[in-house]
A and B are shown apart, each in its own frame.
Chain A
Amino acid sequence: FPPVSFLSLHHLCLLLPSLPTDATAVRVLLSGDFKVSQAETRPGNDASDQLGAAAMEASLRAHRPAALLIFAFLSLLSVSSSAAQEIQILNAERRIDLSSQVAIVFLTLKVENTGKAAASDVLLAFPPTEAEHLAEVKAQAASGKKRKKTYAHLIVEPTDVPDAPNGAKGFRLALHNPLSPGETTTIEVLYMLTHSMEPFPAEISQSDPQLVYYRDSAYILSPYRIKQQTTFIKTPSTNVQSFSRVEPTNRAGMELKYGPYEDLPAYSYSPVLVHFENNNPFAVVEELVREVEISHWGNLQITEHYTLAHGGAKLKGVFSRVDYQSRPSASGVSSFKNLLARLPPRVHSVYYRDEIGNISSSRLRTDSRKSELEIEPRYPLFGGWKSTFIIGYGLPLEDFLFESTDGKRYLNFTFGCPLSGTVVDKLTLKVVLPEGSKDPSAVIPFPVEEHMETKYSYLDVVGRPVLVLEKKNVVPEHNIPFQVYYTFNPIFMLAEPLMLVSTVFFLFASCVAYLHIDISIRKG
């Protein structure tokens, strides 16, 4: 154990003399580190294992002072704030699913109000590194007994937790019925983390499987004291190179179990690291621009510009087509060559191209309920490779445009990326309204950035209003409907035909005039 970090802890304690040294935190830290070093010394099976362990050690060493700092602040803040202590969690269970590129976490919390006053909301806390990768947080409160369980969706909104240590981000769950003192309730939370798995080794050759690190805490980060908690981590395969131990820790097949841990104070944290094989395609859409153009003549035209990348371990050096074609199971297991786009039914005139022309490797399957477009980029994508392409299609307008009761028109369309199994780093959705539309407003169930633009298209004079919606970190769970309301005077539909007609009329009129006027200088 490096004495420097120990010293630093003491320094911190010395700096804050009014506070009692939080013995629990120190214990946690010590035990955590002890287990980790145990994992390090565990004899590795192969070279990469040792490598992984070495790197893990290095990264932990780097994190250690930071972690210490967190705990110091934690202890400080947890004591100073008493409001948060009025709630405690009796039982917490966390299930982390790492089988795709997105870490999907189910959190079941049994919350008890220990305070005097009724509690109207419950706070969740995320470490800052997780918070910036957080794509979606959903929560619901369960009520009733086992058979007759009913779920009520809870509103989740980011909030500033005043006593949050070291940049921990908070989310506030507003309860429907305030929790009266002594009462308990069960809350289920689902959240997703993108880019939370770091490939290690960062560069692999074509024949290697892809190994990734997943970092988290063995203890659930929470502003409340947790009486009992367990964490399950599900890996996509049984190939787990190494994992940190925070006893009790068990591994069975594809599942790792941390806990149960008893009676941990608020903001307890113990970093763990899991190194495992994940060959699922890390298809990352770095940027997606979707343009939805409404034409009141009956068509909804959608154009989607993709910048696709493989976010996994980079391909080192050689790409051999022989190996790729002859041994598809052993070569390039983490690469992917096709993607599935789920499009709405009744889709027509679908195209799939990039800046240098049509890409011929796509198949469209349609039935009355859905359309599936299977696309292959021009080349299989290995780690670190990129590709860009455009998908465009038309849809019948009557499926998506409706009139609301107050006379406004609204577009009901799906947000998110139609490519299944992808993560979108930045999604820009542009809704191009017909020329002459006014007062556009969007109704979206999650926060997005909004601004207006103007677009000029066929025969436009004043331009079409474009409502631009931007969102970062989009996962397939964001494929939910949203609405754009606007007012439109039908007379504007006649503007363009009238313009054409009048142009042709003036053309003929000028021709007639020209033929009947003698403009020669000679005298007739």
Chain B
Amino acid sequence: MASPESAVNGPTMTAGAASKSLRNAFGGVIAFIILVLIGVLAFSIRLFSVIKYESVIHEFDPYFNYRVTQFLSKNGIYDFWNWFDDRTWYPLGRVIGGTVYPGLTLTAGTIWKVVNSLNIPLSVETVCVFTAPIFSAFASWAAYLLTKEVKGPGAGLTAAALLAMVPSYISRSVAGSYDNEAVAIFALVFTFYLYIKTLNTGSLFYATLNALAYFYMVCSWGGYTFIINLIPMHVLLCIVTGRYSSRLYIAYAPLVVLGTLLASLVPVVGFNAVLTSEHFASFLVFIIIHVVALAYYIKGILSPKMFKVAVTLVVSAGLAVCCAVIAILIAVVASSPTKGWSGRSLTLLDPTYASKYIPIIASVSEHQPPTWPSYFMDINVLAFLVPAGIIACFMPLTDSSSFVILYIVTSVYFSGVMVRLMLVLAPAACILSGIALSEAFNVLTRSIKNRKKEKENVEKKPTPSKTEKRLLVLPLEASVIAVLLLVLLGAFYVVFSVQVHCVWAAAEAYSAPSIVLTSHSNDGGLHVFDDFREAYSWLSHNTDVDDKVASWWDYGYQTTAMANRTVLVDNNTWNNTHIATVGTAMSSPEKQAWEIFHSLDVKYVLVVFGGVVGYPSDDINKFLWMVRIGGGVFPHIKEPDYLRDGQYRIDAQATPTMLNCLMYKLSYFRSDFIPIHKTDGKGFDRVRRTEIGKKHFKLTHFEEVFTTHHWMVRIYKLKPQRNRIRGKTKKSKSSRSVSSKRDVRGKRNPWH
């Protein structure tokens, strides 16, 4: 909004000495008001989803968080830590208290409790829906603080305003998007701010706060490993470039000690805080900084000659010890199958890792590498301002600006690997763009002012930064034109492009809760597809409370949260074998599938089918992954059996294996009888745009119990077991082997 203009406020307050304090106070008040406005902007731009749709939790993971929050608010914190959830991963269950990042839940739970103790009767759902917008306002303020530490309040305000409306961040923090990232981005930026603040001041107070902020980040999101790797990298960079100082030591050493101790208090992290390789860098740098500190200390007390002797002595001895220690470490690390790294971290280091070894990680769309347009879509014009910001950070290069540079470089890399981590890039891009804009403004306005002063030839005391001034002074005409251009372009761009783009993105692209779909008919009417909730509501009211529902894992969280029914697998993909079992059942013929499901006590099977209304992300389109994941564990499922000429098809050319598998049958059962199809061939699939290959078939082991209004969700019931016919015994060996062959791989995913 008005923030680029206001960026002038801070640095230009150098004129009159008498009016300085007044203007300072005035500038402070203006900055405060602007910050409040930025907070309001950040909050309100995220409310499109509530206005356009409704106040509802979005998508998949937020439903789980919502359910956990409900449990927390109902049963209290102690039951929450000990919560063993038997509604999911049947028959294994899940220890929620020990496997969930509790930051978001505890935050929302605390807000709810405080609000209710003040007799403001907000429901848990309302609090959950609005947590993300509130925390994005906090994140903007944190960005202001961070950038202010790096380049002054002008840049801070610009960065805060940009972060308030960067589409990438909006996408993860619209009202209703109740996910870990909602609070984690605030925690991330705030931790970085406190680190920089400690680095600039050398205050142990801020260092302690920093450790606490880091603790909050660990509580909130698996992305805390980014902090615990980035800060050591920066420390190392400072040491290597000869910028070691006691401030650096104070900024780093307490963080590692306190931070690690606090992090290990979080059940989901626990001993991982010292055991896994993600944390290794911090300890290594911790050792290095002590060695360096010792070296500086010794250098201080010894004469240069003695010091040289000492160095040779220590280096030769130290190298030997180091080699031994590193050898042991490598041996320990190499003995673990994943080299001590979790699957998702390995995916970050080696982008091809997941597609080679872990199809589950690869199957999630937000774990795919982003495309170039998505960069423009998500961070817009910031992509062009970032290089300018990097250059601005080099003039002059300080400890804090070098940190920002390191931050942007690493986050660009990570966002290139996983589209989800675009979110980490967004604050960095905003900070650097804020710096770029504010610096450009600074340079131009200062040169205008100085030129004017030279012309007027007013007597002036020499400014302290003479060299800088000489460097930055540009010709008056050029400066004026540039300032005007900048203002005009900025205003134009901000108003017409950033605003329009961000608002458009906020309103259209990212606000859809994905459980409700809408379409506009030709006459302008709005048509609502509320099939998911229709199905979940039906399940919750018309089935027994302990019935087990099998579906692909995407719908696990929603089923437990909205229908309150037990599911086999859910979006917390911690057990690959279990998911593979469901994948195998879905890709098996009816009888085998029935046996697998029956052995798991499943009563209902839920499939999502978009062929009638043309909803593309249905189970047939996800079927590729079911076969692949199922086949990865149970070799009798072979992907080529489902492919004709290397393609998944469901039309007449499809393979018999495909046409007989459970997923095909449950999706298309009786869909060829729908009278609403006006196309010539009956049984036309609107998503695949083809006529289905097998029609008029009957189900032998399943029966349809519910189909939603637009056919998007279909629920089938397993038929009861037939009476045993004399002389015949059923072979259910295959299902037995399925449940017994189970390996525990991939314990917990810190990036989740």
Q: Which A residues contact B (CB, under 8 angstroms)?
A: 317-322, 325-326, 353-354, 356-361, 378-379, 384-388, 456-461
A-B contact count (CB 8 A): 80
A321 touches B711 (CB 8 A): yes
The reply to whether B704 and A320 contact each other, CB–CB distance below 8 Å, is yes
With contact pairs A378-B530, A378-B533 given, residues A317 and B705 touching in the complex (Cβ less than 8 Å): yes
CA distance A454 to B674 in the complex (A): 54
CB neighbours of A384 from chain B (8 A) = 542
Cβ contacts under 8 Å, A319 to chain B = 704-707
CB <8 Å contact, B533 and A317: no
B454 CB, min distance to chain A CBs, angstroms = 41
A321–B709 CA distance with the chains assembled, in angstroms: 8
**In the assembly, what is the distance between CA of A388 and CA of B537, in Å?**
9
Residue of A nearest to B536 (CB): A356
Q: Are B533 and A458 in contact (CB under 8 A)?
A: no
Closest to B57 in A: A357
A360 and B53 CA atoms in complex are apart in Å by: 10
- Decide if B541 touches A385 in the complex (CB within 8 Å): yes
Given contact pairs A317-B703, A317-B705, enumerate 9 new A-B contacts (beta carbons under 8 Å): A319-B704, A320-B704, A321-B708, A356-B536, A357-B515, A360-B528, A379-B537, A379-B708, A379-B709
Q: Please indicate the chain A residues that have their CB under 8 angstroms from the CB of B688 in the complex.
A: none
- Cβ distance B589 to chain A, nearest Cβ, rounded Å: 21
The residues of B that contact A325 with a CB separation of less than 8 Å are 674-676
Contact of A322 (CB < 8 Å), options: B119, B673, B703, B709: B673
A385 near B542 with CB under 8 A, answer yes
In the bound complex, how far is the Cα of B562 from the Cα of A358, in angstroms? 13
A456 CA to B708 CA, complexed, in Å: 40
Kindly identify which residue among B54, B119, B120, B673 contacts A358, using a CB–CB cutoff of 8 Å: B54
**Contact A456–B121 (Cβ < 8 Å):** yes
With an 8 A cutoff between CB atoms, is B353 at the interface?
no
Instruction: Return chain A residues, CB-CB under 8 Å to B85.
Output: none
Cα-based distance from A384 to B541 in the complex (angstroms): 10
Cβ B541 vs Cβ A456 within 8 A: no
For residue A463, which residue of chain B has the nearest CB? B119
By a CB distance below 8 angstroms, the chain B residues around A457 are 119, 121
- B538 at the binding interface (Cβ < 8 Å): yes
Q: Are B670 and A320 in contact (CB under 8 A)?
A: yes
Please pick, from B515, B534, B675, the residue contacting A378 in the complex, using a CB distance under 8 A. B534
Q: Which residues of A contact B671 (CB under 8 A)?
A: 322
- A386 in contact with B711 given A318-B703, A356-B533, A358-B56 (CB within 8 Å): no
Closest to B672 in A: A322
How many Å lie between the Cα of A459 and that of B528 in the bound state?
A: 37
B172-190 contacts to A, CB under 8 A, are none
Chain A interface, >50% SS class: loop
When A319-B704, A320-B670, A358-B54 are in contact, do A387 and B541 touch as well, CB less than 8 Å? yes
Query: How long is the Cα–Cα vector from A461 to B118 in the complex, in angstroms?
Result: 9
**Considering the complex, which residues of chain B in the window 530-551 have a beta carbon less than 8 Å from any beta carbon of chain A?**
530, 533-534, 536-538, 541-542
CA distance A361 to B530 in the complex (A): 9
B56 to A, closest residue via Cβ? A357
Q: Are A360 and B119 in contact (CB under 8 A)?
A: no
| Nearest chain A residue, comparing its CB with the CB of B670 | A322
Chain B 692-729 near chain A by CB (<8 Å), digits 1 or 0: 00000000000111111101000000000000000000
9 smallest beta-carbon distances between A and B, as pairs: A321-B707, A357-B56, A358-B54, A360-B528, A386-B541, A378-B534, A378-B537, A326-B675, A456-B119
Best-buried of B56, B119, B562, B671 by chain A (most CB within 10 Å): B119
| Residues on B facing A (Cβ under 8 Å) | 53-54, 56, 118-121, 515-516, 528, 530, 533-534, 536-538, 541-542, 562, 670-671, 673-676, 703-709, 711
Interchain CB contact (< 8 A) of A354 among B119, B120, B537: B537
A to B CB contacts below 8 Å, 24 in the list: A317-B703, A318-B703, A319-B705, A319-B707, A320-B707, A325-B676, A326-B674, A353-B54, A356-B533, A357-B516, A358-B56, A359-B530, A360-B528, A360-B530, A361-B528, A378-B537, A378-B538, A379-B534, A379-B708, A385-B541, A386-B541, A386-B542, A388-B541, A461-B119
A464 to B: closest C-beta gap in Å: 10
Q: How far is the CB of B539 from chain A (nearest CB, A)?
A: 10
Contact (A356, B537) CB under 8 Å given A379-B706, A458-B121, A459-B120: yes
In the complex, chain B residues whose CB is within 8 Å of the CB of A386: 541-542
Contacts of A321 in B (CB 8 A): 704, 707-709, 711
Q: A326 and B673: CB pair below 8 A?
A: yes
CB distance from A261 to the nearest CB of B (A): 46
Residues in chain B near residue A358, CB distance under 8 A: 53-54, 56
Measured in the bound complex, the distance between the Cα atoms of B54 and A353 in whole Å is 10
Question: A458 is contacted by which of B56, B120, B536 (Cβ under 8 Å)?
Answer: B120
User: Known: A358-B56, A386-B542, A460-B119. Is A322-B674 also a contact (CB below 8 A)?
Assistant: yes
**Nearest A residue to B53, CB-CB:** A358
Bound state CA distance, A319 and B716, in angstroms? 10
Q: Find the residue from A317, A321, A386 having the highest chain B CB count within 10 A.
A: A321
Bound complex: CA A222 to CA B536 (Å)? 51
Cα of A320 to Cα of B708 in the assembled complex, Å = 10
Are A459 and B119 neighbours in the complex by a CB distance under 8 Å? yes
Complexed CA–CA distance, A353 and B537 (Å) = 12
Q: Which residues of A contact B705 (CB under 8 A)?
A: 317-319
B717 closest partner in A (C-beta): A317
A460 CA to B707 CA in the complex, in Å?
A: 46
Asked whether A387 and B121 contact (CB < 8 A) given A318-B705, A325-B675, the answer is no
Q: How far is the CA of A361 from the CA of B708 in the complex (A)?
A: 14
Residue of B nearest to A351 (CB): B54
Q: Which of A357, A361, A387, A456 has the most CB of B within 10 A?
A: A357
* A residues less than 8 Å from B534 (CB atoms): 378-379
Residues of A close to B676: CB separation below 8 A: 325
- CB pair A458 B562 closer than 8 Å: no
B538 touching A318, Cβ below 8 Å: no
A379 to B537, CA, bound (A): 9
In the complex, are the beta carbons of B538 and A356 less than 8 A apart?
A: no
- Residue on A with the closest CB to B719? A317
Distance in angstroms between the alpha carbons of A388 and B540 in the assembled complex:
10
A168 CB to nearest B CB, Å: 38
A210 to chain B, nearest CB (A): 18
Distance between Cα atoms of A457 and B53 in the complex (Å):
27
Bound Cα distance A98, B54 (Å): 42
CB distance from B32 to the nearest CB of A (A): 13
Interchain CA distance A459-B670 in the complex, whole Å: 56
Pick the most buried of B541, B670, B706: most chain A CB atoms within 10 A of its CB. Answer: B541
- Cα A321 to Cα B538 in complex, Å, equals 14
> Residue on B with the closest CB to A354?
B537
Which of B536, B707, B708 has the most chain A CB within a 10 Å cutoff?
B707
Which one of B56, B533, B536 has the greatest number of beta carbons of chain A within 10 Å? B533
| A253 and B295 alpha carbons, distance in the complex (Å) | 109
Instruction: Give chain A residues whose Cβ lies under 8 Å from the Cβ of B706.
Output: 319, 379
CA distance A330 to B82 in the complex (A): 53
Contacts of A326 on B, CB cut-off 8 Å? Answer: 673-675
Q: A320-B670, A357-B54, A456-B119 are in contact. Are A387 and B707 (CB under 8 A)?
A: no
**Chain A nearest CB: distance from B559 CB in Å?**
11
Complex CA gap A320/B676 in Å reads 15
Q: Which residues of the other chain, B, contact A460 by a CB distance below 8 angstroms?
A: 119
Which of these, A361, A379, A456, contacts B538 with CB under 8 Å? A379
Q: How far is the CB of B406 from chain A (nearest CB, A)?
A: 37
With A318-B705, A319-B704, A379-B534 given, is the CB distance from A356 to B562 under 8 Å? yes
Q: Residue on B with the closest CB to A321? A: B707
- Per the bound structure, the CA–CA distance linking A359 and B532 in Å amounts to 12
CB-CB < 8 A to B707: which residues of A?
Answer: 319-321
- The distance from the CB of A390 to the nearest CB of chain B, in whole angstroms, is 11
Question: How many angstroms from the CA of A456 to the CA of B528 in the assembled complex?
Answer: 36
Chain A residues, CB < 8 A from B515: 357
* B708 surroundings in chain A (CB, below 8 A): 321, 379
Q: How many whole Å from B6's CB to the nearest CB in chain A? A: 24
Which chain B residue has the least Cβ–Cβ distance from A327? B675
Min CB distance A50 to B, Å, is 27
Q: How many angstroms between the C-alpha atoms of A143 and B105 in the bound complex?
A: 72
